[in-house]
Amino acid sequence: MIIFRFMSDSIYSLRMHANRQGSHLSGCERLAVAQDLERLAAEMVGRALRHPRGRAEQIRLSVDLVPTEAIRHGRLLDLHTLHVDDYRQGRQAARQLLLGAGVQVLAADAAIAGIAQGAAVNGCSMRGAMLVDAVTGARLEADPSRGVRASRMDLTPAAEGELRRRLAPRGLDNPHVREALVLATKVLSAPQVLAELCWSDDPDYTAGYVATRDRGYVRFPHLKPLGDERGGRAFFVRGAGLDLDALSGFLEHSVLLIDEVGEIGGTSIWKEGPCAN
């Protein structure tokens, strides 16, 4: 949790990236005051050493001072859960939501297949996200192994406390949900992004989500088989006239501090069809 003791406190961006056997293993980040950096850094290192896919062999920590004037404030996306019976049904439902957000069939299918097969050039999970043309399905990221990163975002202490209080009764107060919800909010704040698709590469976590502006963060309990170590993200963008450098710079370097929690909805059962849910 960020503890802002005084308005004059300096804020730092703290980021961790870990590799194992030459492939991406884990990553996380926070915004923090100087007094909290050592504790948070230790927590991040511990997370990389206790990852479900094994102990990290390389851990990198980055710390950067954030100018106060660079901080934007925002509101979390609304969250809703769609119940699906298994990952096949989950991917069908995710595809349907993507199409409803303006992503074309070719692009949705290409992204789902890419994440399922391992989107990096070596067939493993990527460190960042695929950048997918929402019409053609073409991948636009400059580095197909690294992808595009969304970085420098977090919750204020008040927003984090409120979010956790509202997630807990639904059994969703865990780092997977909280961190993904914050990241999706940052990604959808970029005007060029239509939607995001994600599921985890942790073998014991099968859930994932689709994020869109009109539906918010829609979580599925199953988007991959249990035990599968392949996962990742796809950001769907309007490819025509896209300034790739500007978008990448916004996602990676603009700072978003979220101070308002959106709606935390319940669970509904997915029904196949163009008007379902």
Cα 69 from chain centroid (whole Å)? 25
Could you tell me if 222 and 270 are in contact, meaning their C-beta atoms sit under 8 angstroms apart? Answer: no
207-260 tens-digit pLDDT: 999 999 999 999 999 999 999 988 999 999 987 789 999 999 999 999 999 999
The confidence score (pLDDT) of residue 119 equals 66
Alpha-carbon gap, residue 215 to 225, rounded angstroms: 25
Cβ atoms of 23 and 125 within 8 Å: the answer is yes
Distance CA 213, CA 236 (A): 12
Spatial contact of 232 and 117, defined as CB atoms under 8 Å apart: no
Distance between CA 89 and CA 192 in Å, rounded?
29
Instruction: Compute the distance between CA of residue 70 and CA of residue 159 in angstroms, rounded to an integer.
Output: 20
pLDDT of residue 229: 86
- Alpha helices of 34-149 — where are they, by DSSP H? 37-49, 87-100, 105-117
The residue ranges of every structural domain in the chain are: 11-66, 74-269
| pLDDT, position 7 | 42
Pairing status of strand 129-133 against strand 216-220: unpaired
Spatial separation of the C-alpha atoms in residues 54 and 69, rounded to whole Å: 40
pLDDT of residue 126: 73
**Binned average pLDDT, 10 residues per bin, the chain of 277 residues:** 48 87 79 89 88 83 90 96 96 97 97 88 76 95 87 92 96 94 97 96 93 97 93 91 92 94 94 58
Q: Would you give the end-to-end CA distance of the chain in angstroms?
A: 35
pLDDT of 194: 97
pLDDT score at 3? 40
